[in-house]
Amino acid sequence: MRRRDFIYLTGMGAGALMLPGVNALGKTIDPMQALEGVDVKIKKELADVALNTAKSNGASYADVRIGRYLNQFVVTRENKVLNVANTESYGIGIRVIANGCWGFAATNDVTKEGMVKTALRAVAVAKANAKIGGAPVELAPQKGYGEVSWKTPLTKNAFEVPIKEKVDLLLNANGVAMAGGANFVNSVMFAVNEQKYFASTDGSYIDQDVHRLYPSFTVTKIDPTAGSFETRRSLSSPVGMGYEYLDPLDSEKVLGVTTRYKKRYDMIEDMKFATQQAGDKLKAKSVEPGKYDLVLDPSHLWLTIHESVGHPTELDRVLGYEANYAGTSFLTLDKWKSGKFNFGSNAVNIVADKTQAGSLGAVGYDDEGVKCKKWDIIKERALKKSFRKGC
């Protein structure tokens, strides 16, 4: 899951979950069902059925993705719980190359019979695509990893923490805001567990257990005399961590005009500051027109980098295959090949890193079944000859 999608789904899901009977992210399950895992031996058996079916019916390559995606929302406003929802989305996707073309099929019938039917459909789609013609698909060589696994490093599985504990935290935080003069406050706890299994005819069987968490809130204060209002959102981050993220540590705070948080978040403290700062914004004078030096706050700078470096260095945008939302890329192939295109000053160094513990995108292996690593995108302002997949 990409960072933008994670934040988007948080907002979309929280909004939808305020409406009774709306299941935005899968079927509703009991919270205890989220703790029932699927045996990796069963996943391998299912994957082998799909791979063998595809190969025996003409596929030169095949891969299988078995995904179980669990989401938990706890949504509150002021002194009320608006909703608590636990959802599950469980299914398989099979991708093949047959007669030099891609074919894909998916199903939520996670049985051996479902695997056979879906693999046959994927091969049929590939063979149908091949009739259109075009250059045959050629994959870069990739050595299989055998049977391997990876899990998000955590000390508290958010799905094991009682709902009551989460509700109490959110309502206590809301209470701090109301006591500080807030007119409105809402808070949300969003937890995700992606149980992802990848297998391919290259010989990889990769089992991953990915956890993510995003606590957030918005405080609103109103000036009825002026007919104006101001808000302040939480300074939490969506993280690839467990519930330990909500255990405050002074060593993980960055003190300043307002306190920032690294790998631990103090929701109660942040709510107190947010309520005060929403009031300060109401009283603040408007900016006078003029020329100013602009210092970007870290909570904004990451977005600046994401848009000006992250999206433009995605290979599909560089090649012109992708143009949604963030557009194509100014980093055309001639700039990459020249090795002379520069970003800013010599102090600019930016890396791609899917291995950073606690980061939202951290996994052991990517969606193509390749072991993740860290590499330079920009080194001493120079654009390096390397590409990124979409983030």
Alpha-carbon gap, residue 138 to 216, rounded angstroms: 45
In three-state secondary structure terms, 269 is: helix
Q: What is the mean pLDDT of residues 282-299?
A: 90
Which CATH entry fits the domain spanning 3-283: 3.40.640.10, 3.30.2290.10, 3.30.590.20, 3.20.10.10? 3.30.2290.10
**Which has more confidence, 190 or 300?**
190
In three-state secondary structure terms, 54 is: helix
Q: What is the pLDDT of residues 261-281, one digit of tens each?
A: 999 999 999 999 999 999 999
Q: What is the pLDDT of residue 391?
A: 41
Could you tell me the residue ranges of all domains in the chain?
Answer: 3-283, 298-383
Q: Percent of the chain scored above 90 by pLDDT?
A: 70
pLDDT of 99 higher than 90 = yes
pLDDT of 34 higher than 60 = yes
pLDDT of 24 higher than 80 = no
Task: Give residues with Cβ within 8 angstroms of 214, minimum separation 6.
Answer: 6, 7, 10, 188, 189, 190, 236, 237, 238, 239
**Which has more confidence, 56 or 319?**
56
Lowest mean pLDDT among 127-136, 148-157, 262-271, 295-304: 295-304
Q: What is the pLDDT of residue 98?
A: 97
pTM: 0.88
Confidence tier at 190 by pLDDT (50, 70, 90): very high
Q: What is the pLDDT of residue 336?
A: 83
Beta strand pairing call for 204-223 and 146-151: parallel
Q: What is the pLDDT of residues 296-316, one digit of tens each?
A: 887 788 888 888 888 888 888
pLDDT of 342 higher than 90 = no
> Is residue 387 within 8 Å of 332, Cβ to Cβ?
no
Q: What is the pLDDT of residues 212-248, one digit of tens each?
A: 999 999 999 999 999 999 999 999 999 999 999 999 9
Q: What is the mean pLDDT of residues 108-120?
A: 97
Q: What is the pLDDT of residue 15?
A: 57
**Helix (H), strand (E), coil (C) string for 283-336:** HCCCCCCCCCCCCCCHHHHHHHHHHHHHHHHEHHHHCCCCCCCCCCCCCCHHHH
Average confidence score pLDDT of the chain? 91
pLDDT of 22 higher than 80 = no
Confidence tier at 12 by pLDDT (50, 70, 90): low
Lowest mean pLDDT among 119-133, 140-154, 301-315, 361-375: 301-315
- Round the CA-based radius of gyration of the chain to a whole number and report it: 24
Residue matched to tokens 């993510």: 212
Helix axes 267-283, 163-179, angle to 10 degrees: 30
Q: What is the pLDDT of residue 133?
A: 79
Alpha-carbon gap, residue 378 to 373, rounded angstroms: 16
Q: Find the DSSP H helices in the chain.
A: 3-17, 40-56, 112-130, 163-179, 267-283, 298-305, 315-318, 333-338
